[in-house]
Structure 1
Amino acid sequence: MLSAGKDVLAKAKTGTGKTVAFLLPAIELLSTLPRSTSINLLVMLPTRELANQVAVEARKLLKYHSSLGVQVVIGGTRLPQEQQSIKSTPRQILVATPGRLIDHLQHTPGFSTRIRGVKVLVLDEADRLLDMGFRRDIEKIISFIPKERQTLLFSATVPAEVHQISHLAMHKDYKFINTVQEGDEETHAQVNQMYMVAALDLHFSILYGVLKKHVAEDAEYKVIIFCTTAMVTKLVAEILSQLKLNVREIHSRKTQYARTKVSDEFRRSKGLILVSSDVSARGVDYPDVSLVVQVGVPSNRQQYIHRLGRTGRKGKEGQGILLLAPWEQHFLSSVNDLSIAETVAPPVNPIIQAEVQGAIRKVDMKTKESAYQAWLGYYNSNKTISIDKSRLIKLAEEFSQSMGLEILPAIPRLILGKMGLANVPGLRSS
């Protein structure tokens, strides 16, 4: 159907080979067109990591199409460098994040003319593109490209907003393809899912114990730990590094160069632990991940599922662990139809606890303060937890104490105001 030129909205789980499914027919079409400097295939994705990943796949498929080339435009890189590359070596295939695409439409001479050559438009991870607030950017971009084109939308879920954008982007006779059969589990059947409930002040020690056990049992281990925010990710990565585990970190506060370097290393390596925020939660293909640990309550059910989808890919087995505090157990009601079972958190022996406390003491104070502020902001945005502000402040104090802090970090008044916590007792402001 894709090769027949029809517009398609496809519901497909991650890790099912959809990237090749849309690239192959598009490349075959492009190979029949006269050579030009126009952009003929435009692929939009929500994150830089996904964009780079799709570009890598496209370059592999272009092995026997030397007349075609791929360009990537993403945030986090220098705009003038991209502009120079676009001018000196124009390519027919463009892989982009929406925000940076808008930058080029507004500031790069000749770009809006080149994009009028688009024959195929692909919106991959469409639900996440919309979740991340890119709807207006997508609408603006669509207004620049020809109406006579083929449009392909791929999405793991198809909520109302995806249907709305599909009506805007595609011809009325578009086809809907559902590759998720009724009754299929939303998570990979070969992933053993477990959850643990333990006091917040034990989470770092439990995580260390789980990792030590997994590393000892699997010489080719490959672990991803998902944390709630970028700064909590940095904190956890530094603690585990102090504990002499082989750790890398990836989150939105890292430069694009650093993120790409870590992502590439983790993709090709074994015997490595990646501590990540949700920049690695969806679509990113890391082969042979043996364990996914989610620390703290995910933002929603779909985020839990997508994070879990980093393991058990392409028919391989995997393991998923969700580590919650007692007051986060409300989240379990949203996933109780999945094959997730409770397991008892391993007991924390005094040796492990002492090692972890020693590691925490070595972490820079600024990292702890930033993690506290980010943690408070994240849970303040969780409606179930933030409904009682005085309780939220006490929980944040628990988190502060778990980092070994005797005095609560001060938060700038402006930030407290933005959080709606300016006059809540129990917080220190600066």
Structure 2
Amino acid sequence: MRSARRLLPHVCWKQCFASRGSRFSEILLRAYAPWHGLQPSSRCARTRAGRQTGGPRAPTPEPRPEESPSKFADLELSAETQTALREGFGYQELSQVQAQVLPMALVKNFDLVVRAHTGTGKTLAFLIPAIEKLAAEPEGQGVAILVVSPTRELALQIGREAETLLSPHDISLMTMIGGTSTRHDQVSLRRVKPRVLVSTPGRLLEHLERTYLFATLVQNLQTLVLDEADRLLSLGFLPEVREIVSYLPTQRRTMLFSATMPESVMDVVSKACRGNYRYIDCVGEESQSTASTAEQSYVVLNGHQCLAALYNLIMNEMAADRYGYKILVFFATARLTTFMAQFFREQLRIGVYEIHRRRDADARIATQERFKEAQSGILFSSDVSARGMDYPNVTLVLQFGAPATREMYIHRVGRTARAGKSGQAVLILGELESSFLTAVQDLPIRQHERAEELKRVNELLIKATTSWLASAPLRAAASAAFASLLVHYKATHRILHMEDDAVIQAASDLLLGCGLVDQPVISRRLGVMLGLEKNPLIQCARRIGEQDDVLQEQELPGAAGPWRG
């Protein structure tokens, strides 16, 4: 109580002690409201409702208008915005999400909660109303529009779209991401004096807490955008989001976009949005996403045959269009991505781009830009490219191994067949991963019609898989990939239903197909953590501390800290 007394000097304490139950909570909440951006009465009402119903629930969506605009010219937008849309983007028609969101967002100042998949034009759906409001009310200083994005790649992509949209406007923009120097950010802030700021949550909170007077930059904030809110939470950013909201003024507009609306997202809605927010469902009851237009297939093989299938699918796509192929290959972990990229470059002499969280920010940005601009190419990626990223003209998406979740499968497939173009997606599964098909059985996915042909091994592949064991870098990368696969399979046991023996066998088979004859030794620390240290099928180091280089920065989906993949 003493600590609360120091924090809340303006509360009448006689009133507090005389109050009981929810009334006391209401008083404390009213005292905290200026810092946390909450509406006390509505928050308490939602809390009481949550106790009765078992937690926050997705609200009733706004009814879809019978007649909605179909073109940007039909909207009341400034001449500068119309010019940017026409000349910068080359857009005339509205996407379905834009047609639902923009009429309401431009006319009324309600907070908005929007359920929309990636690849549907939602970035412009929140940028346009925010920029129009700022252009109409330019007075004030500091950041007027704040966009929070879960990943560096998505933040940079939003920044590029905002830069194009702002090009005719006299409005400054800045993008801040982790992995770069905070000192560089501070210099840029003084030079640019941004009115629009796009950032990842970790870097934004770091500046709010440590950079002198940074918090004053958001005192006049007009609009807060939380993009990919479900991904923010799945990556463990809920504490950061709460802290960020506590620094922001209560008199602001909030727009939250999310592909799904679980209870955790609705909890963020209750903290970030005003009580009279509007909910727009751009997905409806259908389970398919923007990936529904892609031609989807799967192939189930022995684990040691998966590499041959991957190689044959890539070669077939390259042969079909020598100068126009664009292939995106997803792997379960960053370390597996590293090993496979090295293997293809060094053993098969196939040039591939490589992007995952183990690479520094500058390298990831450069790789991302090169693949985007390339007329043809192959990108090996972990799940950093699965959501929100727009790589143009991707003709084939390959998934090597089972994804962590059904939703991740859908988002990966959504990287192709975008903007009305065609595309294919193939899922390559080992026999021990085949239970994943149950999670996607309602999707338009069929067995690959040429599954037998994909097992074929030519002389080049045989030589590639038998000539690298003397390479120390490749052996080290393979050992790290093996350890990361163990973590991946243990983390996805709810969807794959794999026992410990199957986990070890699946990881071993996959690398056996790449030519690794001896099973790598894992650290005892990792073995203990996974509960595998006494399994006779696994080789653990004798003492804690041996082979711990394998354990460092392993990928555990959805975990915080160094285990993030």
Q: Relative to 1, partners in 2 of residues 1:359 and 1:231: Cα closer, same or farther, differing over 3 Å?
A: farther
Corresponding position: 1:308 with 2:385? no
User: Secondary structure of 1:2's partner?
Assistant: helix
Answer 1 or 2: which has greater strand percent.
1
Please point out which of 466, 487, 495 is paired with 1:377: 487
CA distance in 1, matches of 2:510, 2:331: 14
Q: What is aligned with 2:456?
A: 348
Q: Which amino acid aligns with 1:351?
A: E
Query: Which residues of 2 match residues 30-429 of structure 1 at below 5 A?
Result: 30-66=134-170, 68-183=171-286, 185-218=288-321, 219-242=323-346, 243-343=348-448, 344-345=450-451, 346-358=454-466, 361=469, 364-384=474-494, 388-425=499-536, 426-429=538-541
Give 1:179 shift. 1.2
Give 1:320 shift. 0.3
CA distance in 1, matches of 2:498, 2:463: 36
**Structure 1: segments with no counterpart, 5+ residues:** none
CA distance in 2, matches of 1:421, 1:277: 25
Percent identity over the alignment is 37
CA distance in 2, matches of 1:369, 1:326: 22
CA distance in 2, matches of 1:366, 1:150: 51
Give 1:202 shift. 1.1
Task: Determine if contact 1:249/1:275 at 8 Å carries over to the other structure.
Answer: yes
Q: Which amino acid aligns with 1:391?
A: A
CA distance in 2, matches of 1:34, 1:186: 37
Task: Determine if contact 1:360/1:403 at 8 Å carries over to the other structure.
Answer: no
The structure having more radius of gyration, on CA atoms, is: 2
Q: Relative to 1, partners in 2 of residues 1:116 and 1:423: Cα closer, same or farther, differing over 3 Å?
A: farther
Task: Determine if contact 2:307/2:514 at 8 Å carries over to the other structure.
Answer: no
Deviates more, 1:161-170 or 1:252-261: 161-170
Deviates more, 1:282-291 or 1:185-194: 185-194
Higher relative contact order, structure no. (Cα contacts within 8 Å, ≥ 6 residues apart) = 1
Q: Which amino acid aligns with 2:240?
A: D
CA distance in 1, matches of 2:331, 2:516: 20
User: Secondary structure of 2:291's partner?
Assistant: coil
Q: Which amino acid aligns with 1:233?
A: T
Task: Determine if contact 2:416/2:422 at 8 Å carries over to the other structure.
Answer: yes
Q: Which amino acid aligns with 2:539?
A: L
CA distance in 2, matches of 1:204, 1:347: 9
Give 1:352 shift. 4.9
Give 1:113 shift. 1.1
**Structure 2: segments with no counterpart, 5+ residues:** 1-103, 547-565
Q: Which amino acid aligns with 1:255?
A: D
Q: Which amino acid aligns with 1:422?
A: E
User: Secondary structure of 2:404's partner?
Assistant: coil
CA distance in 2, matches of 1:184, 1:374: 31
Q: Relative to 1, partners in 2 of residues 1:187 and 1:326: Cα closer, same or farther, differing over 3 Å?
A: farther
Give 1:416 shift. 2.5
| TM-score normalised over the length of structure 2 | 0.73
CA distance in 2, matches of 1:19, 1:327: 39
Give 1:33 shift. 2.8
CA distance in 1, matches of 2:483, 2:342: 17
CA distance in 2, matches of 1:375, 1:149: 45
Deviates more, 1:317-326 or 1:78-87: 78-87
Give 1:382 shift. 1.9
Deviates more, 1:124-133 or 1:405-414: 405-414
CA distance in 1, matches of 2:161, 2:316: 35
| TM-score normalised over the length of structure 1 | 0.95
Task: Determine if contact 2:306/2:510 at 8 Å carries over to the other structure.
Answer: no
CA offsets per residue over residues 237-268 of structure 1, 9 Å max, x none? 12222322231000000010000001011111
Give 1:137 shift. 0.7
Q: Relative to 1, partners in 2 of residues 1:300 and 1:116: Cα closer, same or farther, differing over 3 Å?
A: same
User: Secondary structure of 2:276's partner?
Assistant: coil
Q: Which amino acid aligns with 1:252?
A: R
Give 1:36 shift. 4.3
Q: Which amino acid aligns with 1:347?
A: K
Q: Relative to 1, partners in 2 of residues 1:157 and 1:357: Cα closer, same or farther, differing over 3 Å?
A: same
Q: What is the aligned residue count?
A: 429
CA distance in 1, matches of 2:164, 2:126: 14
Deviates more, 1:238-247 or 1:413-422: 413-422
Q: Which amino acid aligns with 2:455?
A: P
User: Secondary structure of 1:403's partner?
Assistant: coil
Q: Which amino acid aligns with 2:456?
A: V
Deviates more, 1:92-101 or 1:399-408: 399-408
User: Secondary structure of 1:245's partner?
Assistant: coil
Give 1:356 shift. 3.8
User: Secondary structure of 2:292's partner?
Assistant: coil
CA distance in 2, matches of 1:395, 1:209: 21
CA distance in 2, matches of 1:306, 1:31: 34
Q: Relative to 1, partners in 2 of residues 1:44 and 1:360: Cα closer, same or farther, differing over 3 Å?
A: farther
CA distance in 1, matches of 2:463, 2:290: 35
CA RMSD, 1 decimal: 1.8
Superposed structure 1 runs of 4+ greater than 3 Å apart: 34-37, 181-184, 358-363, 384-387
